[in-house]
Amino acid sequence: MLVHIPNVLTAEQVAHCRRILEAAAWVDGRVTAGEQSGKAKNNLQVPENSPQASELGDIILQALGLNPMFTSAALPLRVFPPLFNRYDVGMTFHAHVDNAIRFVPGANMRIRTDVSSTLFLTDPEDYDGGELVIEDTYGTQRVKLPAGHMVLYPATSLHKVEPVTRGSRWSSFFWTQSMIKEDSRRRLLFEMDQSIMKIRADLPDSHPGVLGMTAAYHNLLRQWVEM
């Protein structure tokens, strides 16, 4: 399931992130890559233990906590602290699959990476190339979103970032361990939740159809959830 989540950050929040990142010390992006993906990766990254990454990560986590579409699509149990990367001209990330397990620095814990997310911090007209290409169940998806918008997709997906040919592409990326491990079940629950919200716009919450759909959603969630 690939989901486009608009306006995760406001224009003011994006501008603030950009100002902080402009003053950050960027390093080789391979510092967080696994052995195989490190050979495919050519970009820059803000060190994950830097004060800039911590400050901006908190802003993003707070925004995600207030975003009902993210909650509905990811059904998050744990979210990895957001990281920040940059692709200048000629930089790319060849096809790869994200590591299944990530160690959370400073938390003495690991998370299973069920869902990958990319939050764009550069508008599409400011750079050429740099598309995120995802092999989804419905075929190849090419993603290039406005600044502040985010794409969410299964971490099991083969994906890549096309070479940047003009400008610079900045983004935040992170992973979520979902309460629902299987993507097919997350998809079904997401579609049910979106349908319930549409029904509630036309019918009172006390309507038998609304009550029945809501009960089915929560009973499926109760049956499938892993805590």
| 96 annotated ligand binder | yes
Contacts of 220 (CB under 8 A, 6+ apart): 185, 188, 189, 192
Question: Is residue 159 marked as binding?
Answer: yes
Assess contact for 84 and 45: CB atoms under 8 A: yes
List Cα–Cα distances, 27 to 6, 32, 49, 86, in angstroms.
29, 11, 12, 10
Flag whether 18 is marked binding. Answer: no
Neighbours of 59 (CB within 10 A): 16
H helices of 99-207, in order, are 183-202
Contact yes or no for 44/86 (Cβ under 8 A):
yes
Binding residues for Fe cation, as ranges, are 96, 98, 159
Binding residues for 2-oxoglutarate, as ranges, are 169
Binding residues, as ranges, are 96, 98, 159, 169
